[in-house]
Structure 1
Amino acid sequence: MAGDEEQQDEPVTFRDRRKVDPETGEARPQETGAAEQAAPAGDGTDQIVDPVAGPADGVDPEVEKLTAEVAERTADLQRVTAEYANYRRRADRDREQTQLAAKVSFVSDLLTVLDDFERAEQHGDLTGAFKSAADKVGGVLTKLGLEPFGAEGELFDPQRHEAVQHEPAEGSGPTVTVLSAVLRRGYRISDRVLRPAMVTVQDRPEAEVSPEARAEAAEGGTDPAGGDAGPGTGEPENPA
């Protein structure tokens, strides 16, 4: 009987294994066993992998592939950009040359008309409606970039002047060759000479040439002492 009394004194433990709390109606957290909570023992050779950086011992091959593709696409873009810039420069240069050629072709056909206007003005016939028309034509040609050149006292430039007569200087000493008379005015557009000026030239002492004329000749690459080319090429011709 004593054994039965000791067995009845032992407390009885009840475990509530219901998954839902009967009072709140909420799901109860599931208990995991000690075996599930304990981390499985490894052999020490497991590799830790970073999901972003890839394997710990090097770069992810996929990242290397993408990096190479980006570098290749960047090089292609730079090459295409440079080729397009070169194309734009060539196109702009060709367009300017085409426009200049068109202006030269149009203006060259009107140079004889300008000569007629100039001769009429010298004889006092450029008056009234004739003068108004001449001024309008001259204004249009000026807008196109036409510039006249050739005036008495300028230094002789064989690249721009065609000399038909040459008067040597009297006496000795350093001299320069200047325009003594302009028989036909010269014209140019930009740096292109449409027609050289037909002139007569004369050798004069350097002291008689203004500093402004010498400075202008130096900027234009003119030799103050004159050129050495023959007649018909812009060089002064010594009369027989």
Structure 2
Amino acid sequence: MTDSQFVPDGEAVGEGVEEPLSPTGATPEEGEATVEETPVEFAAAEEGDRIAELEKLVEERTADLQRLGAEYVNYKKRVDRDRDQARAAGVESVLSDFMPVLDAISLARQHDDIAGGFKMVADELEKVTAKHGLVVFGEVGEVFDPNLHDALMEVPMEEPVEVTTVSQVMQQGYQLKGRVIRPARVGVANP
């Protein structure tokens, strides 16, 4: 061997041996990053980008989850409201169908024509309708209210009145939970 000696582990020692090259093929100079430092800095930058990307994804998913939660709450409220309205409409429909029966019972009471078993049936029917919120109105002596009464004619009263007053009831009116289903048909006495 000439200028260098052969070392058993495969490295050459002696004059003419050059410094090892970096992966880019250049020799490291003072102040430059070595091969070991570059991947660490690159990995740290890559990790920071990945964390920022994941944080953005978490924010987006959180916003989506909050939006879906709010949509569900609104949907549930809407379904509950629609269910209540459908139930109320069903009750109103059934009670409207019973109005002629209630009118017949009212006429029979006026003529003292209710007795025995029929009286018990009439009382129970009136209890059931009252339980569902049906209110009967329209009595002689009430102050006339155009929102509740339908004036069909003028019928003077024996006593003078100071305000327009119901003097005769032809057909009672019905309210269901504060809403007029049918106005009372009445005769009125004017002051």
The answer, yes or no, to whether TM exceeds 0.5 is yes
Between the aligned partners of 1:106 and 1:66, the Cα distance in structure 2 is 59
Which 4+ residue blocks in structure 1 deviate beyond 3 angstroms?
Answer: 42-47
Cα-Cα RMSD: 2.6
Q: Which amino acid aligns with 1:156?
A: F
* Equivalence map 1:124-143=2 (5 Å): 124-143=112-131
Give 1:190's match in structure 2, choosing from 156, 177, 190: 177
Q: So what's the TM-score if we normalise by structure 2?
A: 0.69
Give the count of matched residue pairs.
152
SS at match of 1:183: strand
Between the aligned partners of 2:174 and 2:97, the Cα distance in structure 1 is 12
> Following TM superposition, by how much is the alpha carbon of 1:59 offset from its aligned partner in structure 2, in angstroms?
7.8
Q: Which amino acid aligns with 1:123?
A: H
Matched, 1:73 2:64: no
Give 1:112's match in structure 2, choosing from 86, 100, 112: 100
SS at match of 2:88: helix
Deviation string for 1:74-132 (max 9, x for gaps)? 11111111211221122112111111111111111111111111111111121211110
Q: So what's the TM-score if we normalise by structure 1?
A: 0.56
Long gaps (5+) in structure 1: 1-41, 170-174, 205-240
> Which residue of 2 is the match for residue 90 of structure 1?
78
Between the aligned partners of 2:81 and 2:173, the Cα distance in structure 1 is 27
Between the aligned partners of 1:132 and 1:157, the Cα distance in structure 2 is 33
CA contact (8 A) 2:155 2:168 kept: no
SS at match of 1:181: strand
